[in-house]
Amino acid sequence: MLKKVFKRLGIGSGGKVLLYHRVAELACDPQLLAVNRQRFREQLQVIKNDWIPVSLGELLQRARDGKDTNRCVAITFDDGYADNLLNAAPLLSELGIPATIYVSTGFLHGEQEFFWDQLNRLIIDELPDHRDLNIELQSNGISRQWTIPLCGVSELSWDVTLAEAPTARHEVYRQLCGIVKVLPANERTETLSKIFSKFPQQARQRPEYRTMDTEELQTLSNIDGIEIGAHTQTHPTLSCLPVEEQQREIELSRKVLQEVTGCEIHTFSYPFGTKADYSPATIAAVQRAGFKSTCSNYSGQVHRRCSHFEVPRNLVRNWDAATFARRLSSF
């Protein structure tokens, strides 16, 4: 009986939107953002063989028209890492699977790493293992201190097991990311500078962590089946910003992308994307900016009653084909 009711209401088995960030082989990935190339190919093959790959726009149109979205799968990427072009796009094109790639436009020079990657480099990836390091920060008027302890090289890797039982360094990393995440762009830069000043090593460019530059974005936008979407200018937690600053972040990212790509930008994704990371005021700002859809970051399916300004997405990890197939069925 309930299944019949859900079917009449357009609720139940619906389309699924997948959320990726990176296709890369990384020695250190504390956010678990990367799927390696071989596993990404395997995951795409599962979609091609057993599901119906569609673009995000087509999936949402099917839902809007009341058509069946069951077994439809749309792929999205957040942030705008260079490996989206170099590693993901060739495999998507080879298998004929479309994707929407959301880009934070403040990083299009390709030189500055996202804050979570900068902290990863300093605390986990490069910090010498022969010394402890003390960090002190003022956060919300409260002074907090951390000691980053000595640890061996074997403790500096990160996998799914360590995500559940991190080392002391990983725990410091996680706490600092939480503090920096909610800061406005200027305060974030200032806080990162204070943290970096405690470290003996000099910053270095890591090609495997870089974002796309404008020329690469133009190339990506010209690939058949690839749609570009906006993801703010500085990747802030929008719910922590005044409404006017949210509006600026949202509108500027769209403007820059349209100027760089020459394409109309119709879709947006909320940075971080949980319900705590944006607000009703954010949704209103996105609508005022002229977007037709926005994506969130929590699990769910796309059906007729799904809001097109809070499209649920299912986060994908570095799973083998069998695990991915099982997870995809359960989303």
Res 87: pLDDT:
98
Res 2: pLDDT:
37
Res 273: pLDDT:
97
- Ranges of residues in the chain with a pLDDT under 70 are 1-12, 110, 127-132, 139-140, 149-166, 200-203
Res 3: pLDDT:
44
Res 202: pLDDT:
58
pTM score, whole prediction: 0.91
- The 3-state secondary structure of the chain, one letter per residue: CHHHHHHHHCCCCCEEEEEECEECCCCCCCCCCEECHHHHHHHHHHHHHHCEECCHHHHHHHHHCCCCCCCEEEEEECCCECHHHHHHHHHHHHHCCCEEEEECHHHCCCCCCCHHHHHHHHHHHCCCCCCCEEEEEEECCEEEEEEECCCCHHHCCCCHHHHHCCCHHHHHHHHHHHHHHCCCHHHHHHHHHHHHCCCCCCCCCCHHHCECCHHHHHHHHCCCCEEEEECCCCCCCHHHCCHHHHHHHHHHHHHHHHHHHCCCCCEEECCCCCCCCCCHHHHHHHHHCCCCEEECCCCCCECCCCCCCCECCEECCCCCHHHHHHHHHHC
